[in-house]
Structure 1
Amino acid sequence: MSLPVFRSATAAEAVVGSDLTFGEDVAGHAVRVRRIGPGEDIDIVDGDGTRVRGTVTAASANELTIDVTAVTIEDSTGPRLVLVQALAKGDRDLQAIETATEIGVDDVIPWAAERSIADWPAKKREKMAAKWENLLNAASLQARRSRFPVLRELVRGASLAAAFDESDAVFVLHETARHRLSAALADLIADGSSPLPERIVFIVGPEGGISDGELEALTGRGARPVLLGPTILRSSSAGPTGLVLAQISLGRW
C-alpha cells in the first residue's frame, strides 16, 4: 500500500523498533495539511534512498513521533537518466521537470540555450535554482520516491557540450532528425558486447530550437540527434516522453 511520504535527513538514523521524532519541517505539513494523527502509518525518506516506515504515536503542529517498523535502502540503478531542459517561457520548463521527476529522472540540468526566451540573470539565478529545487522535492514526494533528482548547475549555450563524456549516451531531441529515439535506445540496450552507459542524457531545446552552433558542438562530442515521433512536442512534454521510452527500453516499466 502506498503511504503518505515526507522528507527528513533524520531518516538515515532510524532503527527498527525505536521511536523517531521529527520537527516542524515534517510535523507542520503532516499534521496541518495532511491531518495525520496517532495510529496512522507513514513513510519518511531522506532523498538518498533511505525509506523509513512507521506508525505515528504522537502528533502536533511542531513535533511528530513514529514507532519505526521498517527501514529499507533502495539502491540506485544504472544508467542514470538525465534531462537537460532549456529554459522556457510560461513555466513550460517547470512543467517538464515536474513530470520528469514523476517518471524517474535522476539528474536535471537547466540550460540557457542561445534561443531561450527565458533566462536566469545573475541576480536572480539563486532564486530560480531554489524554485526548481523545491519543485523537484515536491514532485518526488508526490511520486513517493526515496531518491530525489539532483539539480545541476545552469549551463549556457554551446558550453553544454562540455558537460558530457564518452561514458554517456547523449540524445538531442530534434525535429529534423531521421533516426527515431525508440530505435536508438533499442540498439543501445541490445548491444550485449558493450556495457550500458553510465548516463542516458536527453537534451530538450527552447521554443526557438537549438542553434546550428549548439548542435554542432553537441554532435562533435558524440551526441546523436533523434526524433521522438511524427508530431512536434512542446518543450514541456518532449523530455518526459523521452524518459518514458528509456524506462520502457530498460525494462523498468
Structure 2
Amino acid sequence: MRIPRIYTDSALREGATAELDENAAQHVGRVLRMQPGQELRLFNGDGNDYPATITSASKKNVEVQVGTPDANPAESPLDIILGQALSKGDRMDYAVQKAVEMGVTRIVPLTTERCDVKLKGDREDKRLRHWQSVAISAAEQCGRARVPDILPVMTVTGWLEHTRDCEVRLVLHHRTEQSLDAMAKPTRVALMIGPEGGLSADEISQAESEGFLPVALGPRVLRTETAPVAAMALCQYLWGDTGN
C-alpha cells in the first residue's frame, strides 16, 4: 500500500510526538480513515520529508511519532515566479495545480484589461485560500516538500514591479518569433500569462518597456491554463532539472 504524503503546518522534530493541524488531521482521520500504527510521510515546507507513525487518530485529532527526516530532492534549482491572469471556473485551479507539479516557486494572480473575473474583499480572500489548498494538494501528490505561496491579486503594474529582481522575465506572446532556447541560462525566471482574450497591446508594450521579453511556444495559440504548463516544462528542460 502506498504511504500517503501529507502536508501539515505543525512543527516536526525527529523523535517527537506531533499533533497534526486541523486540515491535515481531518484528511488523515476522516477522509483516509487511517488508524494507529499506520505510516505517513509528512512535510511542512522546510524541504524535508518526515516518516511518521500514527499513535492516535480520530476524525478531528491525529497524533504521530516523528521519525528521521529525509532531504527531499524534488525541488528544482530554477526559481520560477508565475504571473497568471485570473480566469473563470476551474481553469485557474488547473493552472495552479499544474504549475506546482512543474516546480513553480510562487504564483501571483493577475488582473488585466481583458479579465472577466473580478475579485475583491472577502471573495478574493476565499479564492486565495482555495488556490493555496489546491497548491498543497498538488505538492502532496507530486512529491514536493515545499508548497508554493499564492500571493494576493496584483495589477500588471504591481506585477512588473514585483519581478524586477528576476534575471529573465518573459511574457508569452504568439505574435513573436523569439524562442526560449536562444536565451542564456538564468536561475530566476518570471513568466507572465494573459487571460482568455490575451494581453492587450498596451499591456505587452508596458511589460516590454520594463524588460520583459516576448516569447512564443510555437505556431499554435494556447489556452490561458495550458500556456503556463507548456512554458514551465520548457524552462525546466532548458534551465532546470528535467533536461540533460
* TM-score normalised per structure 1: 0.85
Residues 101-148 of structure 1 show CA distances to partners (whole Å, capped at 9, x for unaligned) of: 122111101000111111213452222222222222222222232100
Letter in 2 for 1:55: T
Aligned residues: 241
Cross-structure match for 2:205: 216
- Stretch of structure 1 that moved more, 242-251 or 65-74: 65-74
SS in 2 for 1:90: coil
How big is the alpha-carbon RMSD for the aligned residues of Structure 1 and Structure 2? 2.3
On the 8 A contact 2:169/2:212 being kept in 1, the answer is yes
Secondary structure of 2:197 counterpart: coil
CA distance in 2, matches of 1:155, 1:27: 33
Q: Which amino acid aligns with 1:29?
A: H
- Residue 192 (structure 1) aligns with: none
Q: CA deviation at 1:89?
A: 2.2
Q: Are the equivalent residues in 2 in contact too, given 1:160–1:218 (CA < 8 A)?
A: no
What's the counterpart of residue 162 of structure 1? 161
Residues 131 and 67 of structure 1: CA distance in aligned 2, closer, same or farther (over 3 Å): closer
What is the aligned partner in structure 1 of residue 137 from structure 2?
138
- Structure 1 stretches of 4+ with a deviation exceeding 4 A read 73-77
From 65, 69, 93, the equivalent of 2:63 is: 65
SS at match of 1:110: strand
Residues 80 and 106 of structure 2 are in contact (CA less than 8 Å); yes or no, is this contact kept in structure 1? yes
**Which residue number corresponds to residue 233 of structure 1?**
222
Letter in 1 for 2:57: A
Structure 1, unpaired ranges of 5+: 190-195
Indicate how the Cα distance of structure 1 residues 2 and 84 shifts in structure 2: closer, same or farther if over 3 A, else same: farther
The answer for the alignment partner of 1:178 in structure 2 is: 177
Identity of aligned residues (%): 28
Distance 1:230 1:83 in 2: 22
For residues 166 and 141 of structure 1, the distance between their equivalents in structure 2, rounded to whole angstroms, comes to: 29
Matched, 1:248 2:237: yes
Larger proportion of helix? 1
- When residues 222 and 28 of structure 1 are mapped into structure 2, their CA distance, relative to the original with a 3 A threshold, is same
2:35 counterpart of 1:46: no
SS in 1 for 2:18: strand
C-alpha distance in 2 between matches for 1:3 and 1:245: 31
State the Cα distance separating 1:74 from its structure 2 match.
Answer: 4.3
Report what 1:193 is aligned to: none
| Deviation for aligned residue 1:237 | 0.6
Q: Return the offset for 1:24.
A: 4.2
Deviations 1:20-75 (A, max 9, x none): 33354333211221122233221111123232112223322233233322213448
Query: Which region of structure 1 is more displaced relative to structure 2, 150-159 or 234-243?
Result: 150-159
Q: C-alpha distance in 1, partners of 2:121/2:224?
A: 24
How far is the alpha carbon of 1:161 from its aligned partner? 1.9
